[in-house]
């Protein structure tokens, strides 16, 4: 650790940053010998000394801290103005509800009660009557069984959209369970003693044959297309319009069109279920599909998963994300107290990264030919950025949504709250505008935390997690090394990944590709003391980090602001290099965290990045036979 400054920290964040860096470094390893091991000793020592320890990294720890912070803030800020207050209340009531053990029968009965579903009468209903009930539940409560109805407008003309839904098995958290035992359990809770082995067998067979199965995604890029009578004679478009209007006060206007995705598949599912020869099957299987949406935690109990407070919080987070859709992210910005100035800083970092890359291309991309640099810089102009929302909705958006001050919830009554939040109050409202938003677990876990470089769209995506400590401190200036070396460096890495694509990019000349290969070969000759051999993709990551570190170090000058006296400790270049490599730190075991590199790649990224900069060697007085000077021979 570099010597502590003689002046004291005047900012609490200053003490937090410097004290943390002092604790996690491995003081037994000299910075000029192996800088990555010096900075990342906390994680390397932890996983090497404890073989059974779970894999960890700095970014994995950041994720855990963020998840805990989000939960605390959501539970504490239920009195915020709408819609953020409604979102927080919904989440907190969900957590409190699921924290109390309840029987499956109690949950099933509650769903039917709130949605006004008289399940006991369904076995005596005709196919058309059950179809009408499914229309009502999907349209009014957004409680979907065999299909999902959305609404929208094209040139001010209302239409209803029909989407095929997944089978029972595909709605469970763990899709590996294929024995239908949980379906049997739910069928018995829905149908009671009337459920026979024959009913269970028939429902299980249906579940294997219908729905989107393994290809299921809530959102689809397939456009809606007009449905016609020839696609589904038993359930033609006019029956959908008439049935929907007959079950709701929200009357569809005359001439309402029916648009659908995979209407043939939806119709096939309806025929298989609603025209089934066994009345109990055509009644109970759709009812089981309706209630399974509320049974994720109960299924985890049945599957003997470890059920604890973290699991409850995870389920409620996923449910809140799916329930509120596009209202969720701006509300979260407000709940986490992410300031507009933070959003502006992200934009400023991005501009500085692009401008620096363009201005110093001959230095940062010196291994390229002039022609290659021209192509690379043209790609810079194609890049875009998207980030966490600004946390506010316009007055018109709030007034025209269901999330206004009149919206009410019952304390700790999750099922009631969910069905009332989802209940349609007008023909085409804000939730349906997001009808293609994915609702799977991966989306809800990724959308807030993954720094993403989208190759297809040339877009850098900066999520909420990167706008809060320890990656960004809003009480510290944007030009501070404490922020620039973490958030700024990580953003620059993703920008470089979008520019470089692969180690032999399709637009590179033979000259550039040869120079790049020579740099890779040279580094391999000196990398043995630091980490294991790298494949092409791993070297790409490390090389991009080297360019990114130079870019963000130089970009500080474009931010053009004086360092406040309270941040004097952040002016040291030692801190810049330590914080930059800190954001790469990984343990000895492979990491499953979406923002982390594996250990060898992380070590290479840090080593190539800092060793290629004269400022690093000057800051730590490296020279002579110091191991960190060896990669300098490659002139990367």
Q: Which tens digit of pLDDT belongs to each residue from 566-582?
A: 566 666 899 999 999 99
Lowest mean pLDDT among 6-15, 34-43, 158-167, 209-218: 209-218
Q: 384 is written with which tokens?
A: 């875009």
596: pLDDT strictly greater than 60:
yes
State the average pLDDT over residues 348-364.
93
Q: Sorting pLDDT into bands at 50, 70 and 90, what band is 142?
A: very high
Q: Which residue has the higher pLDDT, 417 or 441?
A: 417
Q: Alpha-carbon distance 85 to 79, whole Å?
A: 5
pLDDT value at residue 219: 46
CB distance 433 to 152 below 8 Å: yes
Share above pLDDT 70 across residues of the chain, in percent, rounded to a whole number? 86
pLDDT value at residue 260: 95
Give the chain's mean pLDDT. Answer: 87
CATH class, 14-56+338-398+450-634 region: alpha beta
pTM for the whole structure: 0.90
- Shortest CA distance to 177 belongs to which of 305, 59, 52, 38? 305
Distances (CA, A) of 171 to 135, 167, 174, 372: 20, 7, 9, 49
- Alpha carbons within 13 angstroms on the beta-carbon side of residue 561 total 13
Lowest mean pLDDT among 9-13, 190-194, 600-604: 9-13
DSSP string, 514-570: HHHHHHHHHHHHH-TTTS----HHHHHHHHHHHHHHHHHHHHHHHH--PPPGGGGGG
pLDDT value at residue 508: 82
The pLDDT tens digits of the residues spanning 431-457 come to: 676 555 566 666 767 789 999 887 778
State the average pLDDT over residues 605-620.
95
Q: Which residue has the higher pLDDT, 587 or 605?
A: 605
438 contact partners, CB below 8 Å, separation of at least 6: 217, 218, 219
Which helix (H) or strand (E) is 355 found in, with range? helix 340-359
Q: Which residue has the higher pLDDT, 98 or 426?
A: 98
pLDDT value at residue 217: 45
State the average pLDDT over residues 256-276.
95
Q: Alpha-carbon distance 268 to 272, whole Å?
A: 6
CB distance 551 to 621 below 8 Å: no
pLDDT value at residue 632: 86
177: pLDDT strictly greater than 70:
no
CB distance 483 to 476 below 8 Å: yes
Residue written as tokens 């038993």? 234
Residue written as tokens 């998963």? 305
CB atoms near residue 403 (< 10 Å): 23
DSSP string, 370-420: HHHHHHHHHHHTT-EEEES--S---HHHHHTSS-STT----TT-HHHHHHH
256: pLDDT strictly greater than 60:
yes
* 3-class DSSP assignment, residue 239: helix
State the average pLDDT over residues 364-377.
88
84: pLDDT strictly greater than 60:
yes
Write the DSSP symbol of residue 586: B
Distances (CA, A) of 327 to 404, 438, 452, 554: 12, 14, 21, 38
Lowest mean pLDDT among 200-209, 219-228, 598-607: 219-228
Annotated domain spans of the chain: 14-56+338-398+450-634, 87-326
Q: 574 is written with which tokens?
A: 């030692």
Q: Alpha-carbon distance 181 to 168, whole Å?
A: 11
Strands (E), 188-290: 225-226, 257-261
State the average pLDDT over residues 370-382.
87
Peptide bond between residue 470 and the one before it cis (omega within 30 degrees of 0) = yes
CB distance 551 to 491 below 8 Å: no
Share above pLDDT 90 across residues of the chain, in percent, rounded to a whole number? 59
pLDDT value at residue 138: 95
Tell me, rounded to whole angstroms, the distance of Cα 471 from its chain centroid.
17
Residue written as tokens 């958006």? 397
Q: 306 is written with which tokens?
A: 């470890």
């Amino acid at each position: 650790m570099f010597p502590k400054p003689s002046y004291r920290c005047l900012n609490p964040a200053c003490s937090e940053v410097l004290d943390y860096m002092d604790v996690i470094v491995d003081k037994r390893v000299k910075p000029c010998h192996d800088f990555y091991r010096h900075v990342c000793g906390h994680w390397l020592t932890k996983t090497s000394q404890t073989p059974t320890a779970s894999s960890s990294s700095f970014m994995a720890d950041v994720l855990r801290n963020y998840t805990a912070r989000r939960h605390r803030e959501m539970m504490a800020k239920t009195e915020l103005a709408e819609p953020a207050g409604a979102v927080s209340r919904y989440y907190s009531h969900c957590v409190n509800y699921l924290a109390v053990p309840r029987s499956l029968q109690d949950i099933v009965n509650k769903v039917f009660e709130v949605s006004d579903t008289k399940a006991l009468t369904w076995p005596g209903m005709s196919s058309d009557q059950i179809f009408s009930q499914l229309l009502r539940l999907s349209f009014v409560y957004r409680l979907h069984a065999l299909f999902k109805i959305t609404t929208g407008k094209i040139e001010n003309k209302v239409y209803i959209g029909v989407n095929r839904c997944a089978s029972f098995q595909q709605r469970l958290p763990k899709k590996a369970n294929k024995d239908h035992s949980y379906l049997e359990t739910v069928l018995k809770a829905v149908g009671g003693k009337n459920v026979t082995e024959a009913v269970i067998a028939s429902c299980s067979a249906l579940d294997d044959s219908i729905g989107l199965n393994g290809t299921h995604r809530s959102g689809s890029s397939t456009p809606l297309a007009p449905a016609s009578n020839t696609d589904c004679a038993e359930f033609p478009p006019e029956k959908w319009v008439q049935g929907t209007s007959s079950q709701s006060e929200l009357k569809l206007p005359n001439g309402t069109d029916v648009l659908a995705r995979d209407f043939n598949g939806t119709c096939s599912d309806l025929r298989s279920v609603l025209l089934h020869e066994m009345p109990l099957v055509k009644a109970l299987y759709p009812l089981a599909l309706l209630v399974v949406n509320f049974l994720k935690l109960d299924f985890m109990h049945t599957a003997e998963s470890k059920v604890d407070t973290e699991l409850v919080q995870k389920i409620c987070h996923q449910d809140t994300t799916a329930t509120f859709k596009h209202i969720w992210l701006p509300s979260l910005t407000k709940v986490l107290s992410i300031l507009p100035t933070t959003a502006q800083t992200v934009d400023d970092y991005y501009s500085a990264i692009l401008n620096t890359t363009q201005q110093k291309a001959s230095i940062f991309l010196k291994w390229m030919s002039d022609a290659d640099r021209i192509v690379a810089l043209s790609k810079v102009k194609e890049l875009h950025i998207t980030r966490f929302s600004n946390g506010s909705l316009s007055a018109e958006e709030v007034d025209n949504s269901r999330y206004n001050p009149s919206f009410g919830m019952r304390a700790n009554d999750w099922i009631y709250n969910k069905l009332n939040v989802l209940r349609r109050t007008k023909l085409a409202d804000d939730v349906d505008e997001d009808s293609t938003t994915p609702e799977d677990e991966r989306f809800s876990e990724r959308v807030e935390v993954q720094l993403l470089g989208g190759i297809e769209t040339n877009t850098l995506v900066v999520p909420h997690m990167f706008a809060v400590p320890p990656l960004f401190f809003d009480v510290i200036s944007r030009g501070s090394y404490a922020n620039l070396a973490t958030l700024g460096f990580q953003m620059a890495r993703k920008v470089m990944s979008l520019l470089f694509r692969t180690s032999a990019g399709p637009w590179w000349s033979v000259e550039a590709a040869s120079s790049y290969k020579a740099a890779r070969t040279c580094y391999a000759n000196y990398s043995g003391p630091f980490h294991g051999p790298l494949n092409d993709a791993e070297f790409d990551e490390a090389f991009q980090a080297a360019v990114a570190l130079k870019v963000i170090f130089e970009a500080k000058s474009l931010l053009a602001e004086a360092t406040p006296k309270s941040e004097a400790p952040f002016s040291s270049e030692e801190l810049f290099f330590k914080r930059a490599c800190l954001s790469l730190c990984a343990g000895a075991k492979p990491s499953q965290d979406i923002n982390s590199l594996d250990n060898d790649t992380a070590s290479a990224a840090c080593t190539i990045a800092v060793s290629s900069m004269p400022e690093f060697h000057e800051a730590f007085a490296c020279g002579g036979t110091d191991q960190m000077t060896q990669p300098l021979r490659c002139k990367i």
